[in-house]
Every structure is written in C-alpha cells, then in structure tokens.
Structure 1
Amino acid sequence: MELKNLLVEKNEGICTVKINNPKSLNALNAEVLAELEYIFDSIKDDKEVDIVILTGEGKAFVAGADIAYMKELDAAGAKKFGEDGAKVFRKIETLNKVVIAAINGFALGGGCELTMACDIRIASTKAKFGQPEVGLGITPGFSGTQRLPRIVGLGKAKEIIFTGSHIKADEAYRIGLVNKVVEPENLMEEVISIAQKIKSNSKLAVAYSKEAINRGIETDIETGIAYESNIFSLCFASEDQKEGMSAFIEKRPANFKGI
C-alpha cells in the first residue's frame, strides 16, 4: 500500500509511525485508518521491530476524527466507520509488541481514543486531551466509552465524556491518563529512552506480560490469575528464560534472542 498519511521509520528495533497530515491536524478518516491497519498488520510479523512509537506531525497528535467526512455519513456508514476504527485500535492494543504514544499536541476524540489503545502514553506539556463528541451530537465511536473508564475510573470518565471538556497534560497525568509529561523538546528523547529500556529485556517475556495484562483486565481476577500461571509456565520453555537467569547468576548482561 502507498502511504499518503503516515511516515514510517525503523531504527535498531524501534519503529516510529508518524501520522503526517498536519493541515487537517492529523484527523482520522477512512484512508488514515486503512493505512494504520496496513502498517500495524505489517509490524506484527516484522522480526526487525521490537517496539513501536506512534506520534503525530505538527501541533497535533490526532485532533480527532475528520468531521467533514463524518458529516456526510448515514447511520449505516457511521456504524461501519466506528467498527473500522475500533478494529484498527484493537489491533494496536493487542499487538504482540509494545506501542508507546508520543503525544505531541492535541489528542481529542478519536485521537484520545487512539492514545488509549497504546500501552504507554508520554505527553508533551503542550498536549491536550478530551472526548468532545457530545458537543457534535454523537458519542465517542472508537471505543472511548470502554477504554477511558478502564484507565481513569468510571466517575472521571463520565465527567470527561459528558462535559466534552479538554484537559491539559498535567491533569491527564494526575488522573492516570498518561504515564509522564515532559517538555516538547524532550518528548522523543524520553520515549526512545523508555523504548530502549523495554528493548533491553526479553521481548518474549514482554509480549507475554502484555498479553496477560490485557486478558486479565478484561475478565475476573481468578481467570486472570489462571491465565498468568499458564503464561508464566510457558516462559520456562524458552531460551530467554534460561539465558536471563544464567546471566543473573553469572553477573553479566543477558543476550536475549526472543525465543
């Protein structure tokens, strides 16, 4: 697929995906969603990629879904658009690799929902978040009503969605919507530092941990614990477990192979 809205760069196991349509503040439409789906499908089986960084060009991460595009949709078209967006975001959320959002600016509506599909969210002090859909006569459509309560709690999620208010980066950090806030000039440096720290560990163990967390949060704790026990035992059939524990005992850096 020819990428018209994304810039993709790979460097030493880190793949940076940048949404690159600053004139529209990187708004999401069917074309952008199709490109995101294509690139994340490609990354899934790319052995050269260990970590993904998702960011935006210009003053926005993603300012929202494309309102001019949505205005012309009927109920059937809107259902498909919502389902397509939810499917792509779910692929990001369940990717077998860690996805870090580097939130450089506006992350509103679909943009906020996109950050929530990522594993870790690092925000610039200039970032702003919100789910302003009710002011347009619609609900969040890319799973915002489901992920936001899971991240910030039921009451705060309802407040954010019902008021449609924007919140600044420091407030997003306070309520747990983002992991860290840094100055704009330090954003990518901080995100790459986190990516490299994750990359130094066993990517097999990291992927298993992500899977266990995602499965567990969506079920009761007894089922989650049982799932973790299974994942834990699988690690002991891997070369990474043998290498990691041998390196610890021998007081040397581990040389993980992801197998």
Structure 2
Amino acid sequence: MADVVYEKNVEGHYAVFTLNRPDRLNAIGGRLMAEMLEALDDFTNDPEMRVGILTGAGRAFCAGADMREGADRDAATKALAARRDSGEISEDEYKAEVAAIAPSAPVKFDLFSPNPKPFIAAINGLAVGGGMHFVMDCDIRIASSESYLGLPEPKRGIAASYGSQYLGRMIAPGEAMFYLLTAENIPIDEAHRVGLVHEVLEPEKLMERAVEIAELIAQNAPLAVRASKAMALFQRRNDEDDLKEYSNPISAEVMASEDVVEGRRAFVEKRPPNWTS
C-alpha cells in the first residue's frame, strides 16, 4: 500500500496528496517522504496541474516523525556500534548496515512553499510536530473542527526547528512563543482566532471546501497565480539562507544530544523522560 496516495483531477486542474499511514497516524516514516518527493516531481512538471491539496487518511493529518521507527533505529544503531567496537564487524560493514536502516529519503518540511504552484492544507485531524510543519508550509490552511495542531518536539528532546523559524511570522510573536516554549497543543478554534487557519469546517465538509478553493484558484491565469505566490513569499525566501545558517548548527547540536534518544524512547515506553542536558 502506498504511503502517499497521489490523485490528479485533470478537469479541475488540481491534485490531492493523501498521507496514507493511518495505522501510524500518518507519521513521517516508511516510504512516505520518498513517495511524496516523487509525486511532487510529477505534479510540478505537469502543466495541467495548477493547485495541490494536502490531507491525511483516517483520523490524523500527520503525527510528525515516526517516533517508534526512530527509537528502533536508535537501538539498532547502538547495537551495531557495539558490534563494531568489539571487532565483530568492520567500520565499513558498520557504515553499510547503518545506511541500510536509514530513512528512504531525507526528511524535508519546506516542500510546498518553494513549489511555484499553490498548496492547500486540508487538516482532517491532529497535525503535530512535522505534521504541523507541513501545515505551515502550505499556502492556505483549512481545518476540520475535530483537528488540532501542536509542536511537541521539546517534550521529546528535539527543537521545533521549522516552527521556530516561521511560526512567529505567521501569528503574533507572543502567541508563537507560548506554543513553541510550552509545547502545548493548539486547539483548532484558537488556531483560527490567531490566523493560523483560514476556516474551520465540519469534518464532512472539509474536502468539499478544499476542492472548491482549488477550483477557484485554478480558474485564474496560472502564470499570474504563480507570480502572486512568488512575490508574496519573496521576503521569506530571501531570509531563508540566513535563517538556516543560524539555525542549522543549533538544531544539529540538539539532534546529537542524548536527549533525543531519551525523548524517543520515553515516548515509546510511555513514561516521563529523564533529561541529561
């Protein structure tokens, strides 16, 4: 079964990208990222496609990183390191086995804003961590009344890197800092109040409205739509290199800490984490 279901509506000039790991709340793992990149490549290069809609299968939009998969990978890497250090396997064998259990594609969150074509996030359920990053990276956000958002990464020993860089540009800085630092969930009515989502709808009306918005956009001149998006996002794109130059070393330091391993393991074991930093 595909981890991303990609469906094109040629008559309406839009495509629907459905995150399709419902048994894992559409967490980013398995082949989800690789399949998303493949679908985006087709979408971007198809002149008949003018608008993308991003949603999730089942009761979640996206639960962010697959913490169980990450914890299993941490444990496997630690075991391989022990075998290498004992002389059971060589350094080259260690590297090959670590590469074999690595994700199928690097995780990226800036997938939709750099795309020249507009994207609508149809938030059908919880969107937390990387799932909220995907939401923020879309151009228009509408949500089910049963959904909620959140950046819980600090509770797992991880910096909310994408959220830290962009949330304060999308809503009032004080509101952004509250959610970034407390890592509390954002109720969807609150997300609407602060302007993070455009509309909140009953669940059965969500995709109908997403398609309606996509068709409204697709009726407009494609070149003018792409130009409008590019100009609207110019400042963000212009500042991105500076943001990454500043943020990447900070994020790398956090990701190299034992807190990340402990945060994942504590989540899987359903216990409070024991931080060491």
TM-score w.r.t. structure 1 length?
Answer: 0.76
Greater length-normalized contact order (CA 8 Å, ≥ 6 residues apart): 2
Aligned positions of 1:104-115 closer than 5 A? 104-115=124-135
- Report SS of the residue matched to 2:106: helix
- Displacement, 1:30? 5.7
Q: Name the CA shift for 1:115/1:169 in 2 (closer, same or farther; >3 Å).
A: same
Q: After the TM superposition, which residues 132-147 of structure 1 pair with which residues of structure 2 at under 5 Å, given as runs?
A: 132-141=152-161, 143-147=162-166
CA distance in 2: counterparts of 1:41 and 1:150, whole angstroms:
28
Segments of structure 1 that go 5 or more residues without pairing to the other structure are 221-259
> TM-score when scaled to structure 2?
0.71
Which of 85, 103, 112 aligns to 1:92? It is 112
C-alpha distance in structure 2 between counterparts of 1:219 and 1:43, whole Å: 25
Q: RMSD value over aligned CA atoms? A: 2.3
Q: Unaligned regions of 5+ residues in structure 2, if any? A: 78-97, 240-277
Distance change in 2, residues 1:188/1:174 (3 Å): same
Can you list the C-alpha shifts for 1:77-111, whole angstroms capped at 9, x where unaligned? 9xx97x9323xx32321111111010000000110
**Secondary structure at 1:205 match in 2:** helix
Distance 2:150 2:221 in 1: 35
Aligned to 2:136: 116
After TM superposition, which residue ranges in structure 1, 4 or more long, deviate above 2 angstroms?
69-74, 83-86, 216-220
For residue 126 of structure 1, what is the aligned residue in structure 2?
146
Alpha-carbon distance between aligned partners in 1 of 2:130 and 2:238, rounded to the nearest angstrom: 25
Matched residue SS, 2:176: helix
Counting matched residue pairs gives 212
Q: Which residue of 2 aligns with 1:229?
A: none
- What letter corresponds to residue 118 of structure 1 in structure 2? C
Deviations 1:32-89 (Å, cap 9, x if unpaired)?
A: 1111111112211111211110000010000121001222348xx9xx97x9323xx3
Q: Percent identity?
A: 39
**Aligned: 1:57 with 2:57:** yes
Q: 1:30 and 1:59 mapped to 2: Cα distance?
A: 19
Counterparts of 1:140 and 1:70, CA distance in 2: 16
The corresponding residue for 2:228 is: 209
What is the SS of the residue equivalent to 1:33?
helix
